[in-house]
Chain A
Amino acid sequence: MATDFWASSHYKRWIVDRATVKRARTEDLLYVDDPDYLDFLAIYFANVITKLGKKLQLRQRVIATATVFFRRFYLKNSYCETDPFVVISACCYVAAKAEESPVHIKNVVAESRALFSQENYNVKNFPTDNSKLAEMEFYLVDDLECDLTVFHPYRTLLTLCRTESCAGETEEGEAGELSVAMGSAGVGIGSDEGPRYWGTGQGQLELTSAALQTAWFIINDTYRSELCLLYPPHLIAVAAIYLTFILHPPSRISSPQSSQSDTHSQSHSSVPVAGANTQPRRSSRNAHSESSSSKAVQPPKPQDPITFLSELNVSLPLVATISQEIISMYALWDRYREDASPDVPKNTRDGGSPMTTGATSAAGSPVKRPSSRSGSMVLSGSTPSGSDLGDAAVGLVGVGAGTGDEIITPSFLSSVLLRMREARLTDMAQPTGGRLVAVNKMLERAQAAG
């Protein structure tokens, strides 16, 4: 099963169409002021899951699984009728077990309480005892229909692509995990036993480590949307690779010259991009890995990435659609800012840094995403140098999404969420079971529109 996506519960039961995703929000739509907020909530919840996951020291794949569980749960439930924070805790708890790296329920409760009580989430009542979380776990597993094995695009990425110097890119966080994943895939057992589960593509695409990281981060970012419910993970991976080509100057990725210099040079200066400031301290490892891997390198031949992608047995129009959706997600995300809070230093790139520094204000440019905290596509160390990428991004997003739109913060969304839940309860309390609040909401909206 691990290799056969087409026989998996993921494929058979949990890839749904957009109408289904939309229908799942019907109830919430009745109680939200602006339908757009629901999309922001999708980002908001993913960020909360990531934060909790980091506190619990979960690996990226576990966090991704928790996020998928969360999305699947809310295919069947409404935000306004549940407590999404308890659901988030349960998702992390179950995901850790499902991915065979369990954490103790006490830790989950303690970390959840600590995180959610922060000002921007303002959850005052997170349960103190284990049993509430255990109860939620039960409901969660039931609503997940016991389908706890989830496929992720990371695997496809690592199957399709390789890099010469991946072992040298050992940063903490996601980058570290990436290289660990590259280096030790399949502890105890060769991980290359199964054929690729979607088709017959041959060989591997050679990427610079920076490019591979970018692709990895784009995949991380896709969990901020509902993409994981809509498309098979391998297609998301291919879309992420495709976007990587656009964001990274292609010459660095695939031209014969660059690949030659990558493979044959032992010097770091030829390793493109990749946070120059951090290179010295990993120099020995870097050199080692390069020398050891260069033995296995075939004579460099020109490798056209587009040809490579087109030779994969996947639907390219679908990949294009997914890429578009990833870009829209970035555009939306550009309006989402972390609150300034005590534990988030204001000055860092990841804090609430405004996108609008003149040059980039024209577009919701993905490369300017302020989110390295959560292992987003752009990491400090590997942020590709300026203008060409900026241009690429502008081209990608097209019409600027950011200008003039309001900025959405977690605090704001927390209060939106609370109001939704209160309103839903108020309606439930009506003796007739009517939906006064819901009706009022619709009236307000109609008036505003008219």
Chain B
Amino acid sequence: MSILDEWSNGILQHDPMRLYRAKRDANHGAVSSKYAILGFISSGTYGRVYKAQSLEEDGRIHAIKKFKPDKEGDVITYTGISQSAIREIALNREIDHENIVALKEVILEDKSIYMVFEYAEHDFLQVIHHHSQTIRTPISTAVLKSLIYQLINGLIYLHASHILHRDLKPANILITSSGVVKIGDLGLARLIYQPLQPLFAGDKVVVTIWYRAPELLMGAKHYNKAIDCWAVGCVMAELASLRPIFKGEEAKLDSKKNVPFQRDQLIKIFEVMGTPSEKDWPGLVHMPEYPNMKRLDEFSYRLAEWCQSRIRSAQGYELLRQLFAYDPDSRLTAKDALQHKWFHEEPLPTWNAFQSVPPNQIPPHRRITQDEAPSMMPLPTQNAQTQHTQHMGASSVHHMGAPFSKPGSSTSMSGGGVYGQSTATTGGGNGHGGGMPSRKKARMG
């Protein structure tokens, strides 16, 4: 008995969770036992996304997002599950809506987190590319309206649930093969019901620069759902014109991580919307960047002109105008946007956004490739060490073009750099084409 005591003491001292771990490891389901990986979809700062087929009877297709372990700087010290993964997991476990990408399950295995999502064949960015590069025709009003309608419908749900998305952009808005819009990537999203800390305390910079609302650009410390509505306006304009409406260059965070004045982005907005006045936006003078803004040239309002050839509907212009209200408090809410007259005039929005599209003009299927870093998926033969180094190397290649995003998104993201310095410094200056190399590479691989 005394030997045993000593033995058990040793265990308690040195490996207190041994019993628990043994129990856990005995009955845990590996990703590879449940899903067959079909190929690699995209990568970003948060990890990589794979297309996978369930090994269950239904053989359903899924997108599996694998998070990289959180690390600090270049030193690899495992600091646990990242805040963004916790957010995305926590929020996704609570929500359920037709227009939001559904989380099927989360698998925690070998220090990696796998989020298994429903699969969506397309996304807004890919549709934009298809129209601008391949078929070289604008997106029809019927499709445009259906996409925006469903996007707003999903956003209403998020906002009613007190969730800010904080990163709406074409690459994050998916479409299933049956034409249903699915808002994705809640990695920056936040619950705003009775926050313990003000929102800005958590994340200094939110929303990819081209879709970032003026109050954020002006340095507002408090913001609300209206930032998502501004982004909806940007997305609508981009669908209509096939290029970002406010395509500014992002000023980078300095070495002390101070958020700089986003001069170029504001100018891009002013060029279309005119310089804001105190009449439009009573809170303007209290904005931290107000003095900087006053030094910019004056611009006049020409959204109506901009819309003439692109939106081709007075109501459509009206909707856009209200989504682009400078004053966050008078900006159209998601709820009011859905009631807008534009959605009640012909052509009416449809639940299959592609309903009116001839089969030969439907955007192509999402391209998948062989994974350049196959070690990202668990392979029984590999030991943990090589797995880790390989994955670091491979993902740094992908960093060049794109923070986490869906295929094709790297192009519009290259100027974004919301997620961090590494992305911004390597790919940021190249503008629209900046992400192309990595994307092409992914496709050839």
Contact = CB atoms under 8 A, between A and B. Distances in A.
Interface string A50-86: 0000000001011000000000000001000111001
Interface stretch (B39-47, B127-135, B191-199): B191-199
Interface string B6-35: 011101111011011101100000000000
Contact of A422 (B9, B190, B224): B9
B111 A138 contact: yes
B135 to A, nearest CB: 40
B86 A94 contact: yes
A148 interface: yes
Interface in B168-196: 190-196
A426 B4 contact: yes
B395 to A, nearest CB: 20
A97 interface: yes
A314 interface: no
Nearest to B191: A2
A302 B197 CA distance: 37
A146 B194 contact: no
Given A7-B96, A8-B94, A149-B191, A189 B224 contact: yes
Contact of A61 (B1, B111, B196): B196
Contact of A86 (B4, B17, B77): B17
B225 interface: yes
Contacts of A194: 160, 162, 193
A424 B22 CA distance: 14
A100 B190 contact: yes
Interface residues of B, number: 54
Given A81-B20, A146-B106, A148-B90, A134 B161 contact: no
B358 interface: no
B80 A146 contact: no
Interface string A144-161: 011111000001000000
B23 A193 contact: no
A426 B14 contact: no
Contact of B20 (A77, A99, A102): A77
Interface string A99-139: 11110110000000000000000001100001111111111
B79 interface: yes
B108 A142 contact: yes
Interface in B58-95: 77-81, 83, 86-87, 89-91, 93-95
B359 interface: no
Contacts of B194: 155, 181, 185-186, 191
A146 B198 CA distance: 25
Interface string A190-213: 010110000000000000000000
A424 B91 CA distance: 38
Interface in B100-143: 106, 108, 111
Interface in A10-40: none
A439 interface: no
Given A1-B161, A100-B196, A424 B14 contact: no
Contacts of A424: 19
A83 B11 CA distance: 11
B90 A138 contact: no
B11 A425 contact: yes
Given A97-B86, A138-B81, A142-B108, A125 B222 contact: no
A309 to B, nearest CB: 23
Contacts of A383: none
Contacts of A2: 161-163, 191, 193
A176 to B, nearest CB: 13
Given A3-B193, A7-B96, A97-B83, A146 B89 contact: yes
A418 interface: yes
A1 B108 contact: no
A339 B171 CA distance: 58
Contacts of B86: 94, 97-98, 148
Among A93, A188, A418, max chain B CB count under 10 A is at: A188
Report which residue of B1, B7, B8, B24 has the largest number of chain A beta carbons within 10 angstroms of its beta carbon. Answer: B8
B57 interface: no
Interface string B366-409: 00000000000000000000000000000000000000000000
Interface string B217-239: 00000111100000000000000
A188 B17 contact: no
Given A185-B194, A418-B12, A134 B78 contact: yes
A425 B12 contact: yes
A134 B8 contact: no
A101 B196 contact: yes
A169 B326 CA distance: 39
Nearest to A139: B24
A429 B4 CA distance: 7
A16 to B, nearest CB: 18
A428 B19 CA distance: 9
B223 A188 contact: yes
Nearest to B106: A146
Nearest to B103: A146
A59 B198 CA distance: 14
Contacts of B93: 9, 145-149
B16 A422 contact: no
A158 to B, nearest CB: 8
For B12, B21, B83, B161, the residue with the greatest tally of chain A CB atoms inside 10 Å of its CB is B12
A179 to B, nearest CB: 14
B90 A149 contact: yes
A311 interface: no
B336 interface: no
B254 interface: no
B23 A81 contact: yes
A193 B161 CA distance: 10
A1 B14 CA distance: 42
- Residue among B78, B87, B190 with most chain A CB within 10 A: B78
A110 B369 CA distance: 45
A359 interface: no
Nearest to A181: B194
Contacts of B14: 125
A122 to B, nearest CB: 12
Given A125-B12, A125-B16, A105 B161 contact: no
B5 interface: yes
Contacts of A124: 13
Nearest to B111: A138
Interface in B220-276: 222-225
B381 to A, nearest CB: 23
A25 to B, nearest CB: 16
Interface string B195-212: 111110010000000000
Interface in B307-329: none
Contacts of A141: 81, 89, 108
Nearest to A10: B94
A102 B21 CA distance: 26
B349 to A, nearest CB: 26
Contacts of A422: 5, 8-9, 12
B331 to A, nearest CB: 14
Nearest to A191: B194
B13 A125 contact: yes
Nearest to B197: A101
Contacts of A234: none
29 contacts: A2-B191, A2-B193, A4-B161, A62-B196, A82-B16, A83-B16, A86-B16, A94-B86, A97-B81, A100-B83, A105-B79, A130-B77, A130-B80, A132-B17, A134-B80, A142-B24, A146-B89, A148-B86, A148-B93, A187-B195, A187-B197, A187-B222, A188-B192, A188-B199, A188-B223, A191-B194, A194-B160, A421-B12, A425-B19
Nearest 9 CB-CB pairings of A with B: A83-B16, A425-B8, A2-B193, A148-B90, A2-B162, A1-B94, A134-B80, A1-B161, A81-B19
Given A100-B197, A426-B8, 11 more contacts: A1-B94, A2-B193, A82-B20, A97-B86, A100-B195, A130-B78, A147-B90, A148-B86, A149-B91, A187-B198, A188-B224
